[in-house]
A and B are shown apart, each in its own frame.
Chain A
């Protein structure tokens, strides 16, 4: 590549090479950047390292290399803080670019989309949500099979015996798979939302995050709403639901059954604080919340301290 013209345009860098009148677009991943659309530089002025980096690149790959090098170059040359373009500059730059062929444009947009989706799905939070939904489904399946085993009457010598034996093997495999999944889910939940996992238990924490649609969304959920996440009944003024996912929370069984509504209310308030910490500051506030939770349980069991 001898002569090239590089136009950084928002998150995309357009590259014009000699002998081609058509630009190639490179999109910068997560670029909050120090570049400016108006800054146009020619390859002769670019440092050799950058030209080499550009040479090795294929569209939508290793773009942070270009992004960083370009930003450094532009900042060095201008000696100024370089700011993102305004909307007017966007439009101007967009009009200045020769039109890319429709087919190329389509491929480019789809490549960017596939990459954005892959990045989003690799995020631990998304992994956790997927796992939580999978686990919930599997738990139902395991429960169904267990109930089926109670209904199934085995009589020695029955022609069903062989079938039942095979079914039991399948069932055991399903349960093993479920246990392994729960372990993965719990360790993911502890790393994504440590405080929440400590307060309500990792499995319920994962389900709460899945029900809210994300850790950020859960962090914005009030306690009263969090208490009902995952409940299937409609809220109503006279007798609405008192529990959702939270009914399965840690230590719920230590509370007398007629005080569980009150426990769910207090726990939801603590859980919403924990979720907020996990979604924002990531500070370790769990010990404090767990102490408060345990004190509340003592109260509800009628042993005041």
Chain B
């Protein structure tokens, strides 16, 4: 018989739990819905509570937390905006973290994954799907009340600009959380992943108090979890088109 593994709740986000096996740590979230699992993840019931395995290989947020992210994490009762929800793998875990009193507004543009997201959301109360393009936050701003946090996994060349446009319009105010699963391969291949992260951080830092970025290798190559707390509008925003060293240039053809 093995000894019962203890779940340890995260000090800042009690619906996030850790189980230690020697030097290995598993992440779990407390499920906000009923069986069956959303995408075939591990499922455990104990003392009337339901837990879902939150695997780093499946989710960039999980990989970030496992990699030592010490910035904001979704907490019970909060409202989050989730950009690029796809079929809802990570979005369902974010919904778990905010729990039944919170809400996750999950924006997805592609019709086919959205059909699955909508089906999942019907049995996952905090998960609220929106079929829209994250590039046009005004098209869904009327559906989303001011949110406590924003998580983005959009994998677009202009992902930082997409995030900032949404943050300016929909974050509740200074102190709100902002997390970006940065895919550097989408930002052009003319420079290294680290340089892309630096340029993204530089643009974010004008409006966000950043926490230390976490590299998501080896689970997600060339990805980083960056973000922190929203500070608000920049003090001196340049007029006209914002040109920073990080603005993606037109990609050259090979």
Contacts and interface: CB of A to CB of B under 8 A. Distances in A.
Interface of A: 9-12, 25, 27, 84, 87, 90-91, 94, 99, 102, 105-106, 108-110, 112-114, 116-117, 120-121, 126, 213
B130 A106 contact: no
A87 B125 CA distance: 29
Nearest to A86: B138
B103 A117 contact: no
Contacts of A94: 141-142, 145-146
A90 B169 contact: yes
Contact of A109 (B114, B141, B143): B143
Contact of B138 (A90, A102, A110): A90
7 contacts: A27-B142, A94-B141, A94-B145, A109-B143, A113-B129, A116-B131, A116-B132
Nearest to A130: B112
A106 B129 CA distance: 10
A260 B7 CA distance: 63
A102 B142 contact: no
B168 A121 contact: no
Nearest to A123: B111
A126 B131 CA distance: 15
Given A90-B138, A109-B105, A117 B145 contact: no
Given A112-B130, A113-B131, A126-B111, A105 B145 contact: yes
Chain B interface size, under 10 / 10 to 19 / 20 to 34 / 35 or more: 20 to 34
Contacts of A117: 111, 114-115, 118, 131
B57 interface: no
B122 interface: yes
A11 B131 CA distance: 14
Contacts, number: 68
B143 A87 contact: no
Interface of B: 101, 103, 105, 110-111, 114-115, 118, 121-122, 125, 128-132, 138-139, 141-143, 145-146, 168-169
Contacts of B130: 109, 112-113
Contact of B141 (A10, A105, A113, A213): A10
Contacts of A114: 118
Nearest to A115: B131
Given A117-B118, A120-B111, A10 B169 contact: no
Contacts of B145: 94, 99, 105
Contacts of A105: 103, 145
A11 B118 contact: no
Contacts of B111: 117, 120-121, 126
Given A105-B103, A106-B103, 18 more contacts: A11-B139, A87-B138, A90-B138, A91-B169, A102-B101, A105-B145, A106-B125, A108-B143, A109-B128, A110-B128, A110-B129, A112-B130, A112-B143, A113-B118, A116-B131, A120-B131, A121-B111, A121-B115
Given A12-B142, A105-B145, A87 B169 contact: yes
A94 B169 CA distance: 11
Nearest to B146: A94
B12 to A, nearest CB: 23
Nearest to B102: A102
B24 to A, nearest CB: 35
Given A110-B128, A114-B118, A11 B142 contact: yes
A168 B229 CA distance: 67
Given A109-B128, A113-B131, A114-B118, A102 B143 contact: no
Nearest to A106: B128
Given A105-B145, A109-B128, A110-B128, A10 B121 contact: no
B141 A90 contact: yes
Contacts of B132: 116
A254 to B, nearest CB: 32
A139 B200 CA distance: 47
Chain A CB within 10 Å — which of B105, B110, B141, B146 has the most? B141
B142 A10 contact: yes
B29 to A, nearest CB: 20
